[in-house]
Amino acid sequence: MNIVQLIHQANSSGVTLFCKSGKLGFRLNKGCTFPPELKQSIADNKQAIIEFLTAYESSPSLALKPITPVDRNTDKFPLSFAQQRLWFIDSLQGSTPEYNMPMVFELSGTISLTSIQRAFREIIARHEVLRTVYEEHDGEAYQKIKTISEVEFAIQQKDISELEQVAVAFADDVLQYKTLDEKANQLAHYLRAEHGIGPDSLVGVCADRSLEMVIAVLGILKAGGAYVPLDPSYPRSRLEYMIADASLSVVVSHGETAEALASFTKTQVRLDGFALGEPHLCDAYPRTRPQEVGVSASHLAYVIYTSGSTGQPKGVMIEHKAIVNYQNHITHSYNISYTDCVLQFSNTSFDIFIEEFFGALCHGARLEIRNEDCMLGLAQFTQFCDEKGVTIASLPTAFWAQQLTEEVVIEETTLRMVIVGGEELTHSTVKRHYMQMPQSTILVNTYGPTEATITATTYVTSAADLVNEVIPIGKPNKNNQLYILNAQLELCSEHHIGELYIGGDGLARGYLNKPELTQKVFINNPYYDPHKQIGSRVIYRTGDLVKYSESGCIEFLGRKDSQVKIRGYRLELAEVESHLIGLEEVESALVLTENQPHGPQLIAFIKLADAKISVDGIREKLKAVMPNYMLPQYLEVVTEWPLNANGKIDKAELLAYGCNVELGQTFLFNGRVANSISEYFFKF
């Protein structure tokens, strides 16, 4: 309900609105009944429900002498103004420093109008006050390249000397561009001829870090299909769900995947040894690029499964045009060339894999697949990068923050750019980066859900950011539009918090086999103009709270719901809770996060059905149904839930007590429970 609707409803209901102690109050006129909707809108708000208070009085016959404004000490609202028409004085008073003078003067220029409704429409219409962030549309890129498989690393345009350049390296093994291209072509021909793979066909990839992993992804795309990453470290039950949900009939695999795919009875194409020339069934197929594949920009390139609130993961469908658009963005933003070496840090189940994969191969650079030793600390990480000549690394924010906790100063390194994303980048991490890394190593902060194809915004940090308490997530990537909207889908002002919505060429098609969920979060864009050739008919509701900074960048402020990112993976706390409650040993559960120096940690609070049950047994059962990144770092037992004054579980008290308890121990709460635990728990 906006302010105009509130005033109309109040007037028509016989309710007088008044302001007292900074809160919007009400008085019921004699003989009138109070409408429950209005009571909910007014009385249940803990804070003032309006941020702009307009006092509008019309006195047409009143003649005034020159008046000197008097400070009334009305500092209860961020900004207020009073007006008298004809011979009038606009008095502006504010208690919030975020309303700077240019903004106040612009707002002042809009209020001398004939009605409150017109005044508010004018304010809302002002682009200087209420903004949508657009990035230029580069349509030419789509005329040249429509699908990621057409990129072919531009192999057909390279001379033979460049084709002999190393494309991928892992440990002591390498693949040149020419060999990689030929191996991927052979796999593509096999998949098309033997399994009918074509546009929108889904093919699983279950492989550990290897040269064959790269061949698998590229070969599926060259065949016209879309790949579905299946992390072999996931529990078998989760993999079984993903395989069934995607209706996979073919899985390309490599390495220790026997346990992960034990129940998969359809075709499994093993690539072990294929990269290094060992005999393989694909050897019988042509090394040339498949022709007439029939893939368009709107066909699927991959489906990545992310955490879902129902207890099961959901498949995010990404089309070719979204990846091509993203590559267009990093070409302009990161300046990758054939002289670069890009670190392949992530596995295939994390969409940063795509940035690393095509970021290197589409620009003639080398892709260096990491080993496990580089994870041991900052010194080991930079040593690995220096030995391999790595110049660009895309890392989970939490990983980089953890590396920087070491008391190590790196005087010199081959790294010219560290790109972080997945969690909020803190001021302390930026400070440590510029204290411990050379000034030549740029730190780039990125933001973006899987549904917007890898990242949606980019911000290049500098030592100047050390004065900022909040590090911005930046401005939109190419061909993206960002909207900051309130609950009524109205544009928020540049100084106010709203939910971030994303539109543009990077949007996913939706969720696989989940049309209702797709319609819920991929909504029609209320600001789409069909007469313009830019913009997006659909926008994605991120659930993230943001606002504009003074510099025009966007600042991330938190989540609206229970979705968080742990070590770069986005997950629903409700999904973890669902798995816990699904155990017969657990009566009820609540999962919270606690920010720690190396990133947010999951803390699961459980009430047991039987006090004799071992916590270790519960932990083992969770490992059987959940991937490692979803496992709570702390599992705490409560005998009774602490409740706040409203009868809800007191999360702050849980964290205050729980974080001081050793892992696996039990702690007690003896507060009185007025109603059943489940009744209160499910109010969240």
pLDDT, tens digit (0-9, with 9 covering 90-100), for 389-440: 999 999 988 889 889 988 899 999 999 999 999 888 888 899 999 999 999 9
Residue whose entry in the numeric block shows the structure tokens 């902060």: 445
Beta bridge partners of 20: 23
Average pLDDT over residues 564-583: 81
Per-residue confidence (pLDDT) for residue 579, from 0 to 100: 84
* Lowest-confidence pick of 268-272, 567-571, 679-683: 679-683
Judged against a pLDDT cut of 60, whether residue 655 lies above it is answered with yes
State how far the Cα of 380 lies from the Cα of 391, in Å rounded to an integer. Answer: 16
State how far the Cα of 81 lies from the Cα of 94, in Å rounded to an integer. Answer: 9
Residue whose entry in the numeric block shows the structure tokens 């070719």: 320
Average pLDDT over residues 515-531: 93
Q: Which domains does the chain have, with CATH numbers?
A: 3-128 (no CATH), 174-295 (3.40.50.980), 564-681 (3.30.300.30)
Judged against a pLDDT cut of 90, whether residue 662 lies above it is answered with no
Judged against a pLDDT cut of 90, whether residue 238 lies above it is answered with yes
618: Cα separation from own chain's centroid:
30
Per-residue confidence (pLDDT) for residue 88, from 0 to 100: 35
Per-residue confidence (pLDDT) for residue 430, from 0 to 100: 93
Per-residue confidence (pLDDT) for residue 668, from 0 to 100: 31
Judged against a pLDDT cut of 80, whether residue 555 lies above it is answered with yes
State how far the Cα of 317 lies from the Cα of 509, in Å rounded to an integer. Answer: 5
Give the model's confidence band at 230: pLDDT under 50 very low, under 70 low, under 90 confident, else very high. very high
State how far the Cα of 495 lies from the Cα of 482, in Å rounded to an integer. Answer: 15
Backbone angles phi, psi at 620, to 5 degrees: -65, -35
Handedness of CA 118, 122, 125, 129 (dihedral sign): negative
Q: Which residues, 6 or more positions from 320, have their beta carbon under 8 angstroms from its beta carbon?
A: 146, 147, 148, 149, 295, 296, 297, 298, 299, 300, 301
Q: 410 and 436 in contact (C-beta within 8 Å)?
A: yes
State how far the Cα of 115 lies from the Cα of 4, in Å rounded to an integer. Answer: 10
Judged against a pLDDT cut of 80, whether residue 213 lies above it is answered with yes
Give the model's confidence band at 678: pLDDT under 50 very low, under 70 low, under 90 confident, else very high. very low
* Lowest-confidence pick of 107-121, 494-508, 574-588: 107-121
Give the model's confidence band at 39: pLDDT under 50 very low, under 70 low, under 90 confident, else very high. low
